[in-house]
Chain A
Amino acid sequence: MTNAMTEPSKAPVHRFTETRLAVEDFIADEAAHLDAWDLNGWVTLFTTDCVYEVTPTGVANPFALDPDTTMFLIADDRERLEQRVIRLNKTSAHVEYPKSLTRHLYTNVRILSDNGTEVVATANCLVFRTKNRTTSHYPGTIRYVLVRDGDSFLIRSKRVALDLEALIPQGKVSIIL
């Protein structure tokens, strides 16, 4: 699987060090919300015009795909993202009742651009989900578009591309990645 987002950068290595540190702090906090199942807190990290996407498995170019012409696993706008949170907070979201244990590892953060107001960053991710005495792994890459918000950020876009040919054996994406 090759794509521009994960190729080695030609930019000077230390050009965005300060931005990178700030982004690392921010997404570590995001991961903490998710691992605590604090989805109401998590959704406040997004802009009102946000998108949260998980691309289909088994595709060669996940960062070039358009959710209007290809079926993603998840392609939420703000409204559907809020609905996803409402659903997951219910005990009738059976797949997440009782809640699974999750551990989100977001690493290898790279800053692709920073124009002062908007930062484009990528991170590797590995998310563990444990339920019914089984642990599944979700390895992948995330591309963030972050807008500065005071001394922190808001997420305008988060696209997750899984390093999977199929959801075997994961079976579903019922947690937030």
Chain B
Amino acid sequence: MKWSEPYESKYLRVDPQKRRFQISRKVYTDPQLFELEKKHLLRKSWLYFAHVSEVPKLNDFITRQVIDVTLILTRDRAGEIRAFFNTCPHRGAVICREPVGSRKSFTCPYHGWTFKNSGELQTQNAAFGYEEDFNADGNYNLHEVPRLEIRSGFIFVNFDAGAMPLSDYLGAAGDRIDMLAQHSGTGLEVIGGMQEYYIKANYKLMCENSYDGYHLEATHGSYIDYQMSRLAGVTQMKATGFGRGLDNGHACFEIDIMAGRPLAQWLPVWGETVRELIDEAKAELIERVGPERGHLISQVHRNMVIFPNSVMNDQQSIFIRSMIPISVNEMVVRAWPLGPVNEAPELRRIRIEGALSFLGPGGFATPDDVEMLELCQRGYEMGGIEWNDVSKGFSPGEETPSGEDKLMNELQMRAYWTQYDKIMSAIA
């Protein structure tokens, strides 16, 4: 979409000549709009759900909520990864009450209907009352999520059977997900300690926050002070970065910066043993993927939002977030750190330290983000003021969602909202 002419919808007000790009605050506050959004946008988008390492062995399962549906994700007895609605096809009770485990079958606690972990109804736990061909058409098997696809180990689901393939949906974001997986020649794994926390704010605010370079200095001054204390002895301090619209509303910022990373950015505070391990990891990476891609993977820090509610951060650590909308003004954030399988213990320690001190809800930065999002939500709920602004860096002729702009501008958000408007304004 090329922004040349003035445009106004229920959601956007854009005036390229005045260099203004505004978002209606209703998108964060209107409960009816939220219901429409669930039906037409969230239930038709590809949503990040889990990583394959969370069900590593045959018969492993996890249960997890996505939008307002709880799914059982299984690696079934044949090794196939599947996801089922966690509700009994008989009378509807939630079947599996454990968050994680290993089972060949699932038994509903209410009447004892039992299902194979591939979904087929095995028994109704009844000696009489049903014809033998009762389930011949599979109507009473567990209901499978309409679409499930995996990109480089990252499992996405979609509730729309007619949705485009995941790789088309991800567009230019797909290769950046592949780059995450290429951090390691041994594969990635989710590190224990999933974080789950509530924010009294609309879920889209956390998406905007996740790739907003502009807020770093004002919101995170106290974290930057802490980080500077850890960068003693680092000489190469300059950073270059860009905001980039990818496709279909996905966007990221990418920044070539020395911030310390267990893959290829050693900090003097970590000591000499760690330096050798980091050099080894870097050499292995270059050997495996070549110098050019090796640089992109190891030196470029990246915060990326997969439209509409998934975040893939590739910084001091790999950190994935999924924003679960609870109501129009409440969300739960779920966050997982990932690291290479068989990572050296010293590097694993650094990776975890980077994740919890910056991105965790007990860290030095994320709690301040949570505060900012709740302040925004309170500001919107005052009412009376209709428009928010994401104009920074906007000029006539800008192409979103696939443009490029300076790091501290707001192109990423314009990419998100352009896609949002495209979907929501098309609703009859």
Contact = CB atoms under 8 A, between A and B. Distances in A.
Interface string B346-373: 0011001101110011101011101110
A70 interface: yes
B367 A72 contact: no
A69 B192 contact: yes
B370 A54 contact: no
Contact of B348 (A65, A69, A171): A69
Contacts, number: 115
* Closest 6 A/B residue pairs (Cβ): A71-B193, A166-B196, A73-B362, A167-B197, A56-B193, A95-B367
B362 A90 contact: no
A74 interface: yes
B361 A167 contact: yes
Most buried by B among A59, A75, A86, A172: A172
Interface in A52-106: 54, 56-59, 65, 67-75, 80, 83-84, 86-87, 90, 92-95
Interface of B: 99, 191-200, 219, 221-223, 225-226, 229, 332, 337, 345, 348-349, 352-353, 355-357, 360-362, 364, 366-368, 370-372, 374, 378
Contacts of A65: 192
Contact of B198 (A56, A132, A167, A173): A167
Interface in A40-59: 54, 56-59
Nearest to A54: B362
SS class, residues of chain A in contact with chain B = loop
A71 B191 contact: yes
Given A67-B352, A87-B225, A173 B194 contact: no
Contacts of B357: 80
A71 B356 contact: yes
Most buried by A among B356, B357, B362: B362
SS class, residues of chain B in contact with chain A = helix
A170 interface: yes
Nearest to A169: B198
Contacts of A84: 364
A168 interface: yes
Given A68-B345, A168-B196, A174-B367, A87 B361 contact: no
Contacts of B198: 166-171
11 contacts: A69-B348, A73-B362, A87-B364, A94-B368, A168-B332, A170-B198, A171-B199, A171-B361, A171-B370, A172-B370, A174-B367
B196 A167 contact: yes
A161 to B, nearest CB: 13
